[in-house]
Amino acid sequence: MWGDRPAAVFGSWRAPAPKGVKQTLVWRKPVDAGVVGSTTGFRNDTELVFLTGAWPKRPAERSSVLTTDVGMHSYLNGHPHAKPVPVMQALIEMTDGLIADPFAGSGSTLVAAKLAGRRAVGVELEEKYCELIVKRLSQQAFNFGGI
């Protein structure tokens, strides 16, 4: 349904990649992430970000590794899979136009869009997360690196 518009799909090696991947980024989570469920001695502290669709052409000035230096609990906001706002900002800054997040969760994409002065639409199934989104968006949003 999203057609050839640029999309960032957060994924996992456990699931098949989406169709038409142009590039894969890595989100390196903070040092307190990825402990639960790991049995190999290595933490599950990275997440793949699949870029699909027609991303605007830009010079290759940024690393494909997106990092989070603040601890997990400074950005989870009561949602188990919340993304840090700066990670979403980095992705949003590479695009133009309306932002859409069909799985808005804690609303980090929408907060990042607000900080960037961009129009955004979010969809979220769980009422408690919709309430969280409304609360976050109604607060004056400053970016201290971990929200």
* Segment contacting ligand SAM by CB under 6 A, of 42-50, 53-61, 64-72, 106-114: 106-114
Q: Which of 134, 87, 89 is nearest to 107 (CA)?
A: 134
Name the residue number minimizing CB distance to ligand SAM: 105
Residue selected from 125, 135, 139, 143 as contacting ligand SAM according to rule CB under 6 A: 125
Q: How far apart are CA 118 and CA 88, in angstroms?
A: 12
Q: Which position has the token pair 């994924």?
A: 11
Q: How far is the CB of 103 from ligand SAM (least distance, A)?
A: 3
Q: Which of 64, 121, 118, 123 is nearest to 96 (CA)?
A: 118
108 binds ligand SAM per the rule CB under 6 A:
yes
Q: With DSSP H G I counted as helix, E B as strand and the rest as coil, what are the percentages for the chain, rounded to 5?
A: 20, 20, 60
Q: How far is the CB of 60 from ligand SAM (least distance, A)?
A: 26
Q: Which is nearer to ligand SAM, 57 or 144 (CB)?
A: 144
* Segment contacting ligand SAM by CB under 6 A, of 1-9, 17-25, 38-46, 99-107: 99-107
Strand partners, 27: 47, 66
Q: Which of residues 49-88 bind ligand SAM (CB under 6 A)?
A: 79, 81-83
On whether the CB atoms of residues 142 and 114 are closer than 8 A, the answer is no
Instruction: Say how far residue 141 (Cα) sits from the centre of its chain.
Output: 17
106 binds ligand SAM per the rule CB under 6 A:
yes
Question: Could you list the residues that contact ligand SAM (CB under 6 A)?
Answer: 79, 81-83, 103, 105-106, 108-109, 123-126, 129
